[in-house]
């Protein structure tokens, strides 16, 4: 038994994600890089049933990228991690990067990107994070 890592690199999708109205109408090109580690015996058996099927992983990622419009790259990253984790319980860890091509900034920029890893603080509730941010802000105001 080994721990294997699969990588899906430079997957490209057209999506209508972003905070600005023109992004939601015209769309943009997004690139996804994905890496996942899993424990398995596929190298010993040479059987796809014993592997993490990267074609099936691609379909999950594509469904997120082509699915519901969202404002933030962070939301896309979170949904990819969550959906892959739910569909493939054998996954031990993942890293995903979502990049938006030609982001709407005041100057030349090829891509903006957000990455996240799982496991990590991925499962922490948003409300808890908001409370921490409020506590940090209050602490800064006291100084």
Query: What pLDDT is recorded for position 37?
Result: 96
How many other CB atoms are there within 10 angstroms of residue 90's CB atom? 12
Burial 113-135 (b: 16+ CB within 10 A, else e): bbebebeeeeeeeeeeeeeeeee
Q: Token pair for residue 5?
A: 């890592």
Residue 142 is among the residues annotated as catalytic for this protein: no
CB atoms within 10 A of CB 42: 17
Q: Is the pTM of this model over 0.85?
A: no
In the chain the domains, ranked by start, together with CATH numbers, are 2-142 (3.30.1130.10)
Residue 92's pLDDT is 96
**Residue-wise pLDDT tens for the chain (143 aa)?**
899 999 999 999 999 999 999 999 999 999 999 999 999 999 999 999 999 999 999 999 999 999 999 999 999 999 999 999 999 999 999 999 999 999 999 999 999 999 999 995 444 544 544 555 555 555 555 55
Q: Write down the catalytic residue from 24, 95, 100, 142.
A: 100
């Amino acid at each position: 038994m080994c721990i294997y890592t699969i990588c899906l690199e430079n997957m490209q999708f057209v999506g209508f994600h972003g905070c600005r109205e023109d992004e939601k109408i015209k769309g943009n090109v997004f690139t996804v890089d994905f890496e996942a580690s899993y424990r398995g015996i596929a190298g010993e058996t040479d059987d796809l049933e014993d592997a993490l099927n990267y074609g099936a992983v691609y379909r999950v990622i594509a469904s997120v990228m082509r699915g519901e419009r969202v404002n933030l790259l962070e939301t896309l990253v979170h949904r990819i991690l969550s959906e892959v984790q739910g569909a493939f319980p054998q996954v031990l860890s993942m890293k995903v990067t979502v990049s938006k091509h030609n982001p709407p900034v005041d100057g030349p920029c090829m891509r903006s990107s957000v990455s996240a890893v799982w496991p990590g603080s991925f499962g922490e509730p948003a409300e808890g994070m908001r409370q921490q941010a409020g506590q940090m802000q209050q602490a800064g105001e006291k100084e």
